[in-house]
Chains A and B, each alone.
Chain A
Amino acid sequence: MDRVRDLASTRAAVIFTKSSCCMCHSIKTLFYELGASPAIHELDRDASGREMEWALRGLGCNPSVPAVFIGGKYVGSAKDVLSLHLDGSLKQMLIDAKAIWF
């Protein structure tokens, strides 16, 4: 969990993924489309990947990836991110966290 928190606070937008996960690819695409440059951490390429996954599940993220953090705070998985995007909240969060400017 610590490792997750540490990594999540290194950048305004952080996404935990797995290299094989195509839904992660979708969410990454969305962030790039919005102009954000999220930090991507692939759990299957990390030594403590399994613990991190377990920690993410503990946060309520199901499936565990993609897991999105904005401004160090846990935002949710794909479904949450897309919903927030539709009502405009996602963009605002990114602006507030200074991940994007407009």
Chain B
Amino acid sequence: MPSFDPHLPISNAPGIEGSRIHAYRVSDFGPFEQSVAFRLEDAIDLSTSTVFNSAKASGQAVSFDPLHIATFDKSTTSFNINPPAAQVESQRLPLEKNQQLNLVSISSGNTENWGESNMADASPRTDISTDADTDDKNLGFDRGLSIVVAASDSSDRSKDKLDQKTLRRLAQNREAARKSRLRKKAYVQQLESSRLKLTQLEQELQRARQQGIFISSSGDQAHSMSGNGAMAFDVEYARWLEEQNRQINELRSAVNSHASDAELHIIIDGIMAHYDEIFRLKSNAAKADVFHLLSGMWKTPAERCFLWLGGFRSSELLKLLVNQLEPLTEQQLVGIGNLQQSSQQAEDALSQGMEALQQSLAETLSSGSLGSSSSSGNVANYMGQMAMAMGKLGTLEGFIRQADNLRQQTLQQMHRILTTRQSGRALLAIHDYFSRLRALSSLWLARPRE
């Protein structure tokens, strides 16, 4: 937008061809003088921002239109301007009552809702001709709003100057201003009701979230996809834990009430099937967001301490169980011992594979021209490196899958080695162990801090 020197005639105002606007000769404005110097930049700012919010001091709203000048001081050239292609914004500015102003504003180049190129008078007395004599008195206009007043110090103005065209145009201006005001009102009302609705929706969302309903939180697709995977899994895991608690309680009361092997068998089968379920859920989650699983953020802090490849270490679990499972037969002891050793070896093998992956990834990202050679070579190298690194990251899912497989197989193998009753006690012991870890986490999180 051009910035104008208010003292110079404007010769390049849009929409005006060949005519010059002597709009800003402050010297023409008699009593107005500096106090009403119209800074065009202000007008431009005004025209592009939602001035109407601030322009509410008085009840009088004035919409004025760029490039429209009704009359001029007789020392200035008077002319008519038709605002054609010039897109304008009518602005509303508060003015004191009884002020009669002819306003000039500058086109911002954009018409928004207010968009008609018209000008309205400031005061209820919309007929300029009647105000000619009172103009001088009414110009205590100094509210910090700089509005150009075009030549209204017209004690010289007489009815002769007003011709039909002017009258008609003024009427049109008034009409346009009125319409503009109505549109603005409608718009503001719309905004208000939308805002209300938004607040209501937000509250509903908050409530629903608290109830544990999973709701996608962002509109950004890529972002919400990964958010979906992690959040969805967390919700599923919470549900899984609840169900497991219920089943374990059932098992506990069955064991304590010395239920039959057949009864226990049924309950235990249910628990084993339930374990299968979490591994299935984890498998899906690994596809969606492997890093979420690896991070262990879906577990409590104390559990995270023992995190290995996105879950617990089977070998450690077996070590804990052996003491609690006595008496075991010789064969069972050997079996459990072998199982413990095998799972340990398998865990070590997978750990080594992970280390190799880390090393390989680090090598991929640090190799190649770090600063040397041509820039196009660099780009090609970089992209190649990234492609390779992407491939390597993709293998993480495979590792998590094998680790979960290990956990699942260990549980099943243990179940095979033990009798029904022993299996029942083992499952209770496992659950109690993790429960205590979770309780520890809660205590830790709630601990008093200095």
- B198 at the A interface (CB under 8 A): no
Given known pairs A20-B360, A25-B356, A86-B413, the reply for A63 and B349 (CB within 8 Å) is no
Known: A82-B405, A83-B409. 11 other contacts (CB 8 A): A20-B391, A22-B360, A23-B353, A27-B349, A29-B348, A29-B352, A30-B349, A82-B349, A86-B343, A86-B406, A86-B410
* Residue in A20, A79, A86 whose CB lies within 8 Å of B339: A86
Q: What separation, in Å, do the CA atoms of A87 and B349 have in the docked complex?
A: 16
Across the A-B interface, the 5 shortest Cβ-Cβ residue pairs: A26-B353, A30-B349, A22-B357, A25-B356, A29-B349
| Interface range for A | 20 to 34
Task: Verify B395–A23 contact, CB threshold 8 A.
Answer: yes
Task: Verify B342–A88 contact, CB threshold 8 A.
Answer: yes
- B346 at the A interface (CB under 8 A): yes
CB distance from B125 to the nearest CB of A (A): 87
- With most chain A CB atoms within 10 A of its CB, the pick from B353, B405, B410 is B353
Q: What separation, in Å, do the CA atoms of A53 and B356 have in the docked complex?
A: 23
Contact with A along B289-304 (1 / 0, CB 8 A): 0000000000000000
CB distance from A44 to the nearest CB of B (A): 13
- A78 at the B interface (CB under 8 A): yes
- B190 at the A interface (CB under 8 A): no
Residue ranges of A at the interface with B (Cβ–Cβ < 8 Å): 20-23, 25-27, 29-30, 33-34, 63, 78-79, 82-83, 85-88
* Residue in A20, A25, A85 whose CB lies within 8 Å of B353: A25
Instruction: Kindly list chain B residues whose C-beta atoms are within 8 Å of the C-beta of A30.
Output: 345-346, 349
Q: What separation, in Å, do the CA atoms of A82 and B344 have in the docked complex?
A: 11
Task: Verify B395–A82 contact, CB threshold 8 A.
Answer: no
Query: Of all chain A residues, which has the CB nearest B406?
Result: A82
Query: Of all chain A residues, which has the CB nearest B398?
Result: A23
Task: Verify B349–A88 contact, CB threshold 8 A.
Answer: no
- B350 at the A interface (CB under 8 A): yes
Q: What separation, in Å, do the CA atoms of A22 and B413 have in the docked complex?
A: 27
Q: What separation, in Å, do the CA atoms of A27 and B399 have in the docked complex?
A: 12
- B249 at the A interface (CB under 8 A): no
CB distance from A39 to the nearest CB of B (A): 18
Q: What separation, in Å, do the CA atoms of A63 and B401 have in the docked complex?
A: 13
CB distance from B286 to the nearest CB of A (A): 14
- With most chain A CB atoms within 10 A of its CB, the pick from B346, B356, B399, B406 is B346
Instruction: Kindly list chain B residues whose C-beta atoms are within 8 Å of the C-beta of A26.
Output: 349-350, 352-353, 356, 402
Task: Verify A33–B348 contact, CB threshold 8 A.
Answer: yes
